[in-house]
Amino acid sequence: MRAIAQKLVGSQETGLVVVLALLAVALTSLAGTHIDRQSGELINNFWNSYTLIQTATDASFFAIMAIGATIVIISGGIDLSVGSIYALSGVSMALTLRAVHPASTTATVIIGLGACLLVGLACGVLNGLLVVGLNVHPFIITLGTMWVLRGIAFVATQAESILVPSSLTSVMKASLGLGGGLYPVPMLTMIAVTIIGVIYLTRTVMGRHVFAFGGNLEASRFAGLRLARIQIGVYAVSGLTAGLAAFLGASFYGSTSSGDAQGYELFVIASAVVGGASLIGGKGSALGAMFGALLIVLIRQSIRTLHLDQNYEWIVIGCAIVIAVVIDQLSSRLTARRLTAAPIRPAT
């Protein structure tokens, strides 16, 4: 039990949970209250089921993409194209459904989800192949594909917003028995993807290879790991998560356009970095990415709740990224010093 307690105290995720809890307490105390028209009860403006689930819903799209981006960052790469993949996947789904006209809700969901995942996977594999084949830094490659993919989405739609079938929206906005305008499907999907991400990174051989690749490239090469396959694989996963987020977002909001997810790159990378992913590779977690996304959305929520200028959210999020990177570097230096200062015990 003591070892478990020490592990929890020292983990990045525990610190994020504490920060989230403190921020939630502060918002609850500062948000004020209102009287519910139906029940007549006094309701806190933040700490109520509607606001909490809506906050989790807002975070779900960032968090799902942040999990994929975290896997890329753990490998030592970066993916700036996730927002453009989101937009292209969404418009591809809408155009496909417009052309096919599925007869049933089940067929609509299967075709829509399949289109988003297929386009997202193709874009991710393209990024990986370009990074490996051209041997150019991922920042440059994904910066280029960010504009190319966004341009393709723009040309395909002529900058028009495309409606998706209402049956998709009804599925995404299923109350699942909660009622009261509560739609937990995106939140539950976020939790499911986080669990899959945790299992992938901590319980599979491929996940261990990703950490090894990002932690020590030369050692991975001498160990005989298939480096090209690992690098292509992490970008494929990032593309898949962006495609899934696009399916959820387009279905939930009922429409999609080439301008969707502009600026999401900042939120996704911020979620990953604040969640503990190291930009030099070899460190990060799916759970941390989800908590990081929740923290970013809570920061945005606090600015709205306190009726501050919404332009401040960019300042706060930018500062959060810088602070997270500085803390990560300090932690790495302290760990290195501790290992250097530790006495070497003779073998017995």
pLDDT in tens, 20-66: 898 889 888 888 888 877 777 888 888 888 888 888 998 999 899 99
3-class DSSP state of 33: strand
Q: Alpha helices of 79-165 — where are they, by DSSP H?
A: 82-100, 105-134, 138-157
Q: What is the mean pLDDT of each run of 10 residues along the chain (348 residues)?
A: 54 81 88 79 84 90 95 96 96 94 92 97 97 94 96 92 93 85 91 97 94 90 89 97 97 94 88 88 93 90 77 79 75 69 57
What is the per-residue pLDDT for 103?
85
Q: How far apart are the first and last CA of the chain?
A: 29
The whole-number pLDDT of residue 156 equals 92
Crossing angle, helix 82-100 and helix 49-74, to 10 degrees? 110
Query: What is the C-alpha to C-alpha distance for residues 210 and 17, in angstroms, rounded to an integer?
Result: 26
Q: 3-state DSSP call for residue 144?
A: helix
> Cα(119)–Cα(113) distance, rounded to whole angstroms?
10
Q: What is the pLDDT of residue 8?
A: 52
Instruction: Give the pLDDT score at 73.
Output: 96
Mode of pairing for the β-strands spanning 162-163 and 255-256: antiparallel
- In Å, what is the CA distance from 91 to each residue of 155, 198, 221, 243, 282? 11, 30, 40, 11, 34
Q: Show the domains of the chain with their CATH numbers.
A: 48-174+186-327 (1.10.3470)
> In the numeric block, which tokens belong to residue 179?
């009622």
Tell me the per-residue pLDDT of 148-180, one tens digit each, with 9 for 90 and over.
999 999 999 988 899 999 999 999 999 888 876
Query: What pLDDT score does 10 carry?
Result: 54
Closest CA to 293 of 260, 270, 261, 316: 270
Cβ distance 30 to 42 under 8 Å? no
Q: What's the pTM value of the predicted model, to 2 decimals? A: 0.90
